Amino acid sequence: MEIKQPYLLFLGDAADALAAKTSIGVAQWKPEVCIGQLRLAGCKADAKLPDMSPDEAAAKGAKTMIVGTTNRGGIISPAWMAALLGALDAGLDLASGMHNKLSDIPEVAARAKARGRQLHDVRHPTRDFPIANGVKRKGKRLLTVGTDCSIGKMYTTLALEREMHKRGLKATFRATGQTGILIAGAGTSIDAVVSDFVAGCVETMSPDNHPDHWDLIEGQGSLFHASYAGVTLALIHGAQPDALVMCHEPGRPHMRGLPGYKLPDIQECITVNVEHARLTNSRAKCVGISLNTSRMSEKAGLSAIKRMEDRVGLPCVDPSRTGVGRLVDKLRKFK
Amino acid sequence: MEIKQPYLLFLGDAADALAAKTSIGVAQWKPEVCIGQLRLAGCKADAKLPDMSPDEAAAKGAKTMIVGTTNRGGIISPAWMAALLGALDAGLDLASGMHNKLSDIPEVAARAKARGRQLHDVRHPTRDFPIANGVKRKGKRLLTVGTDCSIGKMYTTLALEREMHKRGLKATFRATGQTGILIAGAGTSIDAVVSDFVAGCVETMSPDNHPDHWDLIEGQGSLFHASYAGVTLALIHGAQPDALVMCHEPGRPHMRGLPGYKLPDIQECITVNVEHARLTNSRAKCVGISLNTSRMSEKAGLSAIKRMEDRVGLPCVDPSRTGVGRLVDKLRKFK
């Protein structure tokens, strides 16, 4: 995959910031390659970049428009068609993390061909994977897990990599979702892998490594999410994590996309995740909690972090409020 | 996908009965739709049906030849080509559960087109599925689960359907693997579905039904199998089972395909399966155990069944030794 930089980020008609989390994530973790954002009427998300048209972005040097927004089901909306074609006309490639492929939309495929532009469908694996063999690999692994989807797993994993690199520690972010792939420039969208091969895919993306190297594997979904828990369990087994970090956002009324489904108790969620992780790595343990307190005031957020830490008895951080230093302290001493 | 009946069963050059287990399974569970078998020189398997050519089968009314045999790697053998083309020439459709697709073999695809015949590659889903919504459906559902793969889940599920129909109860076998699909004539191989959509696929294949109707859903894999547990968890959540039946074979040295991985304790396995099932159906419970004692003597088998029943405190059967009547007794009174 060679996605040409810099980027124009397409936020479409995102209903909220979560819906545009791919574009917003790229803007946050790779600001140096983001020139602007393109939003349609009704867009409720903001990547905090200058709004501009594909032509304006191209004039400023943009090479690719990132289709970094979503809707339920993760498919490319007909309402976006004019913008996608406009980007191709302006001379930009397109890179999408959606379930349906840009290259399967006849009008988009024809226009790309006519303009000599490339279409990158990063959610779609371009290779085959083996069935997982469950054989223990060398090196150390951390996996972020969560009480729910879209709760801060990728953010936490990227923050851990940044902090570990700052301290000179060996660590590699392993992307398992489309935003992570667009940020890292490599990885596989495991939710697009045929179910029989998901655990094997994760084994493949996190191979043997130095004994003091940490693979920091981006979590997906939640064992308690009725739509996606199977993906999460295959990821846990394939990752063979030594360390788990539990991600949570206080105050969610229900599981994302599932009205009527309450979030699990965090202590129960930790226990169940660790028990499943121990199938493929008997020393798996939870090293801490990453709390997403972005909707709280500073005071309420810090108070929530303190309460969680007292309750669960593990270090609790909010990557964007406190940093993840206390988790990295534990990883340094990890036995 | 509906596979036209009746069938001619292709056993090919199967090296042993195990290699032809799909054809033999169809003959065993749907004898009324099996007209004959086609065996090549050297075939060591026998479905106990009249041997006949595709032309003879077609003359007796056969509509489809089932490619229900396998070889190393599960791919379609070049040695079968003449027989496959002969079946198409005789006016039969082809249905295969192999990894590689009939429709990807140019000679087979061309001949099918020329003769106006259909090719069914039942391991490969032919439609898209929604993301699971977790909404409770009407009607009752039973799911077979297991301590391991290939341990008797399909067999148990089919035996339950047969016994329930014998008693005039409303029940439908829902196939989730290739052999089950060829037996039922419909279904989806869930291990070939993209991981994000497995739970949604299972919701789709078991829709709203009458309050006294049971969907009997064929289980796959095991929550304790390091290669496939994700498939199993998605199946559990999508099935929303009221009743679980735990399948087990005593004496297995390790999990299938995973030397070094021991089988789980059956009581722990029941507990974990029920806990996960309760995410999407709070009344889920395990109603009994199906023990595969086919490698034991009659006396040892009956003794193992008795010991298991005493230990777990649930009715225990071996479908081929004792029948599944005691499980159906429980389903009749299910509340």
Report whether pLDDT(A31) > 70.
Answer: yes
Q: Is residue A2 domain-resident?
A: no
- Tell me the shortest Cα–Cα distance from A36 to chain B, in angstroms: 31
Looking at the structure, do residues B198 and B318 belong to the same domain, yes or no? Answer: yes
* Closest Cβ opposite residue B134 in set A131, A198, A227: A227
Question: Which residue in B191, B149, B227 sits closest to A280, CA to CA?
Answer: B227
User: pLDDT, tens digit, for every residue of B316-329?
Assistant: 999 999 999 999 99
pTM of the entire predicted model? 0.91
Chain A residue numbers with beta carbons less than 8 Å from the beta carbon of B226 are 132, 134, 199, 237, 279-280
A-B interface: how many C-beta pairs under 8 angstroms? 121
| Residue A61's CATH number | 3.40.50.720
Read off the pLDDT of each residue in B41-67 and give the average, rounded to a whole number.
97
Q: Is residue B304 domain-resident?
A: yes
Chain B residue numbers with beta carbons less than 8 Å from the beta carbon of A230 are 195, 198-199, 230-235, 237
Cis peptide bond prior to B6, omega within 30° of 0: yes
Range of the domain at B90: 7-121
Task: Judge whether A129 is closer than 8 Å to chain B, CB to CB.
Answer: no
Task: Judge whether A232 is closer than 8 Å to chain B, CB to CB.
Answer: yes
For residue B310, what pLDDT band results from cuts at 50, 70 and 90?
A: very high
Q: Pairing mode, if any, of strands A119-121 and A93-96?
A: parallel
Do the chains contact at B230 and A234, CB–CB below 8 Å? yes
Chain A residue numbers with beta carbons less than 8 Å from the beta carbon of B233 are 223, 229-230, 233
Task: Judge whether B276 is closer than 8 Å to chain A, CB to CB.
Answer: yes
* Closest Cβ opposite residue B228 in set A191, A196, A235: A196
Task: Judge whether B279 is closer than 8 Å to chain A, CB to CB.
Answer: yes
| Residue B146's CATH number | 3.40.50.300
* Closest Cβ opposite residue B230 in set A195, A257, A261: A195
Task: Judge whether B199 is closer than 8 Å to chain A, CB to CB.
Answer: yes
Helices A81-89, A106-115: inter-axial angle, 10-degree rounding: 10
- Tell me the shortest Cα–Cα distance from A179 to chain B, in angstroms: 16
Looking at the structure, do residues A80 and A189 belong to the same domain, yes or no? Answer: no
Looking at the structure, do residues B21 and B110 belong to the same domain, yes or no? Answer: yes
Report whether pLDDT(A313) > 80.
Answer: yes
Return phi, psi of residue A126, to 5°.
-110, 10
Q: Give one DSSP letter per residue of A235-304, joined into a string.
A: HHHHH--SEEEEEE-TT-SSSTT-TT-PPPPHHHHHHHHHHHHTTT-TT-EEEEEEE--TTS-HHHHHHH
* Closest Cβ opposite residue A195 in set B190, B224, B226: B190
Task: Judge whether B190 is closer than 8 Å to chain A, CB to CB.
Answer: yes
Q: Is residue B79 domain-resident?
A: yes
Q: Is residue A131 domain-resident?
A: no
Looking at the structure, do residues A98 and A167 belong to the same domain, yes or no? Answer: no
Do the chains contact at B279 and A224, CB–CB below 8 Å? yes
Q: Of B121, B148, B174, which residue sits at a domain end?
A: B121
Looking at the structure, do residues A149 and A106 belong to the same domain, yes or no? Answer: no
Average pLDDT, chain B: 96
What pLDDT does residue B126 have?
Answer: 85
Read off the pLDDT of each residue in B263-268 and give the average, rounded to a whole number.
98
Do the chains contact at B230 and A199, CB–CB below 8 Å? yes
User: pLDDT, tens digit, for every residue of A99-145?
Assistant: 789 999 999 999 999 999 999 999 888 789 999 999 999 999 999 99
Chain A residue numbers with beta carbons less than 8 Å from the beta carbon of B272 are 275
Looking at the structure, do residues B117 and B144 belong to the same domain, yes or no? Answer: no
Looking at the structure, do residues B169 and B91 belong to the same domain, yes or no? Answer: no
Into how many domains does chain A fold? 2
Do the chains contact at A233 and B233, CB–CB below 8 Å? yes
Contact A36, A9 (CB under 8 A): yes
Burial B294-330 (b: 16+ CB within 10 A, else e): eebeeeebeebbeebbeebebbbbbbebbebebbbee
Report whether pLDDT(B47) > 70.
Answer: yes
Q: Of B121, B150, B181, which residue sits at a domain end?
A: B121
User: pLDDT, tens digit, for every residue of B66-109?
Assistant: 999 887 677 888 899 999 999 999 999 999 988 889 999 999 99
Q: Of A67, A93, A121, which residue sits at a domain end?
A: A121
User: pLDDT, tens digit, for every residue of A53-91?
Assistant: 999 999 999 999 999 888 766 778 889 999 999 999 999
Diameter of chain A measured on Cα atoms: 61
Helices A229-239, B229-239: inter-axial angle, 10-degree rounding: 160
Read off the pLDDT of each residue in B33-38 and give the average, rounded to a whole number.
97
Looking at the structure, do residues B109 and B166 belong to the same domain, yes or no? Answer: no
Tokens found for residue B145: 């689960």
Q: Closest residue of A to B177, CA-based?
A: A196
Report whether pLDDT(A1) > 60.
Answer: no
Tokens found for residue B240: 């929303």
Task: Judge whether B260 is closer than 8 Å to chain A, CB to CB.
Answer: yes
Element (H, E) at A84: helix A81-89
User: pLDDT, tens digit, for every residue of B240-261?
Assistant: 999 999 999 999 999 999 999 9
Cis peptide bond prior to A6, omega within 30° of 0: yes
Task: Judge whether A276 is closer than 8 Å to chain B, CB to CB.
Answer: yes
Diameter of chain B measured on Cα atoms: 61
Task: Judge whether A82 is closer than 8 Å to chain B, CB to CB.
Answer: no
* Closest Cβ opposite residue A198 in set B130, B195, B223: B195
Q: Is residue B269 domain-resident?
A: yes
Question: Which residue in A301, A304, A221 sits closest to A256, CA to CA?
Answer: A221
Q: Is residue A132 domain-resident?
A: no
Q: Closest residue of B to A200, CA-based?
A: B227
Read off the pLDDT of each residue in B148-173 and give the average, rounded to a whole number.
97
Q: Is residue A41 domain-resident?
A: yes
Average pLDDT, chain A: 95
Looking at the structure, do residues A168 and A273 belong to the same domain, yes or no? Answer: yes
The ipTM is 0.94
What pLDDT does residue A72 have?
Answer: 67
User: pLDDT, tens digit, for every residue of B162-186?
Assistant: 999 999 999 999 999 999 999 999 9
Write the CB contacts of A32 (distance below 8 Å, at least 6 apart in sequence).
none
For A42, other C-beta atoms within 10 Å of its C-beta total 10
Contact B257, B242 (CB under 8 A): no
Looking at the structure, do residues A286 and A182 belong to the same domain, yes or no? Answer: yes
Interface test with B, best of A227, A269, A276, A280 (most B CBs within 10 A): A227
Q: Is residue B127 domain-resident?
A: no
What pLDDT does residue A127 have?
Answer: 86
For residue B1, what pLDDT band results from cuts at 50, 70 and 90?
A: low
- Tell me the shortest Cα–Cα distance from A200 to chain B, in angstroms: 7
Do the chains contact at A198 and B230, CB–CB below 8 Å? yes
Looking at the structure, do residues B151 and B297 belong to the same domain, yes or no? Answer: yes
Looking at the structure, do residues B299 and B176 belong to the same domain, yes or no? Answer: yes
Q: Closest residue of A to B268, CA-based?
A: A275
